[in-house]
């Protein structure tokens, strides 16, 4: 294996293991910022050593053990300034001694609910909503600061400062690394749901890079959602989020071709959708609706996903019902992205001209100026209306706005296909 191949393998390991690594370290050092620094140090060490020594049999365990060694060194350098530091150092050293210095044994310990604790820590009300989301995307989804800045439409320097401040705020406030007690849990629940869904969406449609999807993130978000549903079974929106993720995850294996190229919803082979995940999703949706509370955004989105799951084809989907559900969603969550999705549903239910009118209104507002899906939707509707030159321009603009390489290629292909029939 060449050095380049090794570096690619290390990057892949990091994408898979980084969130668990940071969560496991945060459990023992009680500081999210320090945990991330230690994890990054372990990554640097891997980049230095693995090209020469080869990739370990258990790379995640190697990274964890290396990071824990770094944690002990860090605490020693701090001269054990506090009793807490002394206790933490002794705990780490005892763990090393009990495991006889074996890397895999020292590091391949039970993660338990550390990731969920990390989510709750990142969602502490001491942070602003924007800071919570940014920090979660950094430590849970493994996005770079540049990628997060693009998602929030702010300069990279602004986002870097926001993330640094968030970690410092958590450290200064001594926010405990734990799942809060039931009476405190409700305060953070909305943010936790938002963060879990952000992580799921990053797996479902990657913001940047060569891969159209990152399924491991979807699986992790689903696992966290299921645990949360057991913790707070009376919360209808938790069941709504689980239902939404289960049903969307059912399509994962049909969203890419054998070569990894994207396959859009209307072109997917629905016979290959995962029926078990759909069944689980419909059960979760029923549990959420059975609570009798007014439907929130996750239950409504799950109901929309259920309409797709119940249809055997795009043409046989109940688009009128989906439009009505988007109308309801827009009343409680009147965001531009919801309005864009509603425009697509309106187009399918009542014709492309009706949908284009709504999409044009959004384009005029300017709120989605940098959002690649707006010109993508407009391109699709213009193409259906026979306005091929305009459609090609919209697809080309969308291809320039997206930072996902495979999505960009798909949009350029759609632009090239916008030719008036002879």
Q: Which residue has the higher pLDDT, 287 or 143?
A: 287
DSSP per-residue letters across 203-248: HHS-SEES-S--HHHHHHHHHHHHHHHHH-TT-HHHHHHHHHHHHH
pLDDT tens-digit series, residues 326-362: 999 999 999 999 999 999 999 999 999 999 999 999 9
Using an 8 Å Cβ cutoff, are 26 and 176 in contact?
no
**Location of structure tokens 């409700």:** 186
Average pLDDT over residues 22-37: 84
**Residue 402 pLDDT class (50, 70, 90 cuts):** very high
Give me the chain's average pLDDT, please: 86
Q: Which residues are bridge partners to 208 per DSSP?
A: 403
| Domain end marker among 83, 111, 139 | 111
The neighbour count for residue 352, using CB atoms within 10 Å, is 20
Q: Please tell me the distance from the alpha carbon of residue 325 to that of residue 61, in angstroms, as a whole number.
A: 46
Predicted confidence at residue 96, as pLDDT, reads 53
pLDDT at res. 109: 38
Q: How many domains does the chain have?
A: 2
Query: Tokens for 419?
Result: 């030719």
Confidence of residue 422 (pLDDT cuts 50, 70, 90): low
Residue 81 in this model has a pLDDT that exceeds 60: no
Distance of alpha carbon 68 from alpha carbon 62, whole angstroms: 10
Q: Residue 287 pLDDT more than 70?
A: yes
> Residue 114 phi/psi, 5° resolution?
-60, -40
| Residue 98: pLDDT over 70 | no
- Asked, for residue 124, whether it belongs to a domain, the answer is no
Helix runs in 259-351, H state only:
275-290, 297-310, 319-332, 336-350
* pLDDT of 210 above 80: no
Neighbouring CB atoms inside 10 A of 155's CB total 11
Whether 283 has a pLDDT exceeding 80, the answer reads yes
From 70, 64, 54, 187, select the one nearest 120 (Cα to Cα).
Answer: 187
Confidence of residue 20 (pLDDT cuts 50, 70, 90): confident
Bigger pLDDT: 143 vs 236? 236
**What pLDDT, in 10s, does the model give residues 319-335?**
999 999 999 999 999 99
Domain with 357 in it: 318-422
CATH code of the domain containing 408: 1.25.40.10
Residue 5 or 416, more confident? 416
- Look at residue 389 and tell me whether its pLDDT is greater than 50: yes
At 211, phi and psi to the nearest 5?
Answer: -95, 135
Residue 190 lies in a domain: no
Is the pLDDT assigned to residue 35 strictly greater than 90? no
Question: How high is the pLDDT of residue 106?
Answer: 38
Directed axis angle between helix 3-29 and helix 83-98, to 10°? 130
Mean pLDDT, residues 92-121? 57
- Rounded mean pLDDT, 105-112: 38
Least confident of 212-221, 305-314, 339-348, 382-391: 212-221
Range in 26-35, 64-73, 74-83 the model is least confident about: 74-83
Q: Single out the residue of 298, 308, 325 nearest to residue 228, CA to CA.
A: 298
310-313 long-range contacts, CB within 8 A, separation 24+:
311/270, 312/270, 313/270
**Nearest CA to 225 among 252, 251, 244?**
244
Residue 86 lies in a domain: yes
Quickly state the pLDDT bin for 100 (edges 50, 70, 90). very low
Q: Is residue 33 part of a domain?
A: yes
pLDDT at position 102: 45
**Which has more pLDDT, 299 or 31?**
299
Q: Which of 94, 111, 128 is the last residue of a domain?
A: 111
DSSP string for residues in 83-127: HHHHHHHHHHHHHHHHTTT-HHHHH----TTHHHHHHHHHT-TTS
Answer yes or no: is pLDDT of 304 > 90: yes
With respect to residue 240, please indicate whether it lies within any of the assigned structural domains: no
Contact predicate 386/420, CB 8 Å:
yes
pLDDT given for residue 27 in this prediction: 80
Residue 209 pairs in a beta bridge with 404
Is 135 among the domain residues?
Answer: no
Q: Quick one: pLDDT at residue 349?
A: 97
3-state secondary structure of 177: coil
Q: Does residue 170 lie in a domain region? A: no
How many Å from the N-terminal Cα to the C-terminal Cα in the chain?
52
pLDDT at residue 182 is higher than 60: yes
Distance CA 14, CA 60 (A): 8
- Average pLDDT value for residue range 271-284: 97
Task: Please say if the pLDDT value at position 83 is more than 70.
Answer: no
List, for residues 52-66, the tens digit of each pLDDT value. Answer: 888 888 888 888 888
- pLDDT for residue 119 is more than 50: yes
In a domain, 102, yes or no: yes
Domain stop point among 84, 111, 138: 111
Cα angle: 370, vertex 162, 48; to 5 degrees: 95
Contact yes or no for 115/20 (Cβ under 8 A):
yes
| Cβ atoms within 10 Å of 8's Cβ, excluding its own | 12
Looking at residue 11, its pLDDT comes to 79
């Amino acid at each position: 294996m060449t050095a380049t191949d090794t570096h690619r393998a290390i990057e892949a390991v990091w994408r898979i293991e980084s969130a668990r690594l940071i969560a496991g370290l945060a459990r023992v050092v009680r500081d999210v910022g320090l945990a991330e620094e230690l994890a990054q140090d372990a990554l640097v060490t891997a980049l230095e050593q693995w090209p020469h020594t080869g990739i370990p049999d258990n790379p995640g365990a190697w990274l964890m053990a290396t990071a824990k060694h770094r944690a002990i060194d860090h605490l020693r350098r701090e001269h054990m300034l506090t009793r807490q530091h002394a206790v933490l150092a002794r705990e780490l050293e005892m763990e090393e001694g009990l495991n006889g210095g074996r890397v895999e044994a020292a590091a391949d310990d039970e993660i338990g609910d550390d990731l969920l604790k990390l989510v709750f820590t990142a969602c502490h009300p001491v942070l602003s909503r924007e800071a919570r989301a940014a920090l979660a995307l950094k430590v849970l989804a493994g996005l770079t600061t540049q990628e997060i800045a693009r998602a929030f439409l702010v300069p990279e320097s602004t986002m870097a400062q926001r993330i640094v401040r968030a970690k410092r705020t958590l450290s200064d406030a001594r926010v405990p690394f734990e799942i809060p007690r039931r009476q405190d849990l409700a305060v953070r629940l909305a943010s936790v749901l938002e963060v879990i869904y952000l992580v799921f969406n990053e797996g479902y449609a990657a913001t940047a890079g060569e891969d159209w999807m990152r399924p491991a993130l979807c699986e992790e978000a689903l696992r966290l959602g299921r645990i949360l549903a057991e913790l707070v079974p009376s919360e209808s929106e938790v069941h709504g989020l689980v239902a939404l993720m289960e049903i969307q995850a059912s399509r994962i294996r049909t969203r890419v071709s054998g070569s990894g190229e994207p396959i859009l919803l209307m072109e997917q082979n629905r016979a290959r959708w995962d029926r078990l995940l759909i069944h689980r999703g419909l059960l979760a949706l029923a549990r959420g609706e059975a609570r009798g509370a007014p439907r929130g955004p996750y239950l409504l989105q799950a109901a929309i996903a259920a309409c797709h799951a119940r249809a055997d084809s795009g043409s046989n989907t109940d688009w009128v019902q989906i439009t009505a559900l988007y109308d309801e969603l827009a009343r409680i969550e009147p965001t531009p992205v919801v309005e864009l999705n509603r425009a697509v549903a309106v187009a399918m239910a009542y014709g492309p001209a009706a949908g284009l009118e709504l999409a044009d209104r959004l384009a005029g507002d300017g709120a989605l100026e940098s959002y690649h899906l707006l010109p993508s939707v407009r391109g699709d509707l213009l193409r259906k209306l026979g306005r091929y030159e305009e459609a090609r321009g919209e697809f080309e603009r969308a291809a320039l706005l997206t930072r996902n390489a495979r999505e960009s290629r798909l949009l350029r292909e759609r632009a090239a296909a916008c030719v008036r029939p002879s």
